[in-house]
Amino acid sequence: MSIFSYLCTYIIKTIMTDDERTTEALQLLETLIAIPSHSREEANAANALQQWMEERGLQPTREVNNLWCVAPHYQGELPTLLLCAHIDTVRPATGWTREPYHPTWEGDVLYGLGSNDDGASLVSLLQAFRVMCTKERSYNLVFLASAEEEVGGKTGAELALTKLPHIDVGLVGEPTGMQPAIAEKGLMVLDVIAHGRAGHAARNEGDNAIYHALDDMQWFRTYQFPEVSELLGPVKMTVTVVNAGTQHNVVPAECKFLVDVRSNELYSNEEIFTTIREHVKSDVEAHSFRLNSSRIAIEHPLVQRAIALGRQPFGSPTLSDQALMRFPTLKMGPGDSRRSHTADEFIRRQEIEEAIDLYVRLLSDLSIAQG
């Protein structure tokens, strides 16, 4: 299929210099920063993004606050690659010295909530998608801007994925310094309740639930799952919230605590949960088992293409929409994960420029198989 036919299908401004393409991407990012888009409150940002895409000849489909676009001339017999980044943000952390919803430039640095996580990946992937729409490919291409990523919401990517064509491989944009994360830790949150018996603290009465909880907390702190991943390391369990007691002179009958469990790809969340229940005395319930660890084979053509471009594969400790995808996925995007969810979040212009260029080179002349 010729480049000319693509141009006839999409009215896209493609004759742009790298500098112009970067400038346009950053202007879109400024627009999105200025629109609060906390998880489950992304409607206004989705509206702005939809308008921007339509003004440039794209024809996005919308489901709740998710937007996606299929590159022209989709062919069912070809494999399909998904580009995905999210439009939602966390709420501002304490300590901002700038207005989080006011895009602020200092030199070549752009400050603003969502600039690094995940606006930089979003605008860079979108520009790369527009370029690739005009190139001949041996695969179909889909771009998805997802909602509710920061809270793992069920009307975000999880919903959108059920509406998309069959996907064979995904490229998920998250701040990785444009290095390819070929594995990602999963997440399981546990509600744990230790039981005792109430009594008066001044007398030898009752059975203190806090003391029972401490025994189980110590187990969560010290237990080591035997299988350790080369890329992701061990399964990590952390007690993060504790609640017990009503007043100083009452022995508490109940102690509740939360445990954050980060799984590696060698265990499913269900397997980890079974082991936990076998070892602790408290009642344990999982919020969900759906956010499992993910991994893509280093031999996959997408990974090999990244390596050929001088990128270094690694394992990521942070969660993304990858956890909801039941096909191989690679995580790679501009920015630094250490800036995410922090005060004075920022992205550099050069990082956006590099990302667009690398994404286009990564996707050009790529050959992938149907899964």
User: Taking a C-beta distance cutoff of 8 angstroms, is the pair 217, 257 a contact?
Assistant: yes
* Strands annotated E in 147-235: 169-172, 181-184, 188-195, 199-200
Q: Output the CA torsion sign for 61, 341, 173, 331.
A: negative
Identify each DSSP E strand in 87-150 by its residue range. Answer: 104-106, 109-111, 140-146
pLDDT along the chain (371 residues), means of 10: 43 72 98 98 98 97 98 95 98 97 98 98 98 96 97 95 97 98 97 97 93 98 97 97 96 98 96 98 96 95 97 95 95 97 98 98 94 75
Predicted local confidence at residue 119, as pLDDT: 98
Within 10 Å of residue 250's Cβ, how many Cβ atoms? 14
Q: Which helix (H) or strand (E) holds 236?
A: strand 236-244
- What gap in Å lies between CA 67 and CA 157, rounded to an integer? 10
Half-sphere exposure at residue 134, Cβ-oriented, CA atoms within 13 angstroms: 17
Residue that the structure tokens 């007690």 belong to: 239
Residue 14: the pLDDT is 54
CA 181 to CA 198: how far, in whole Å? 50
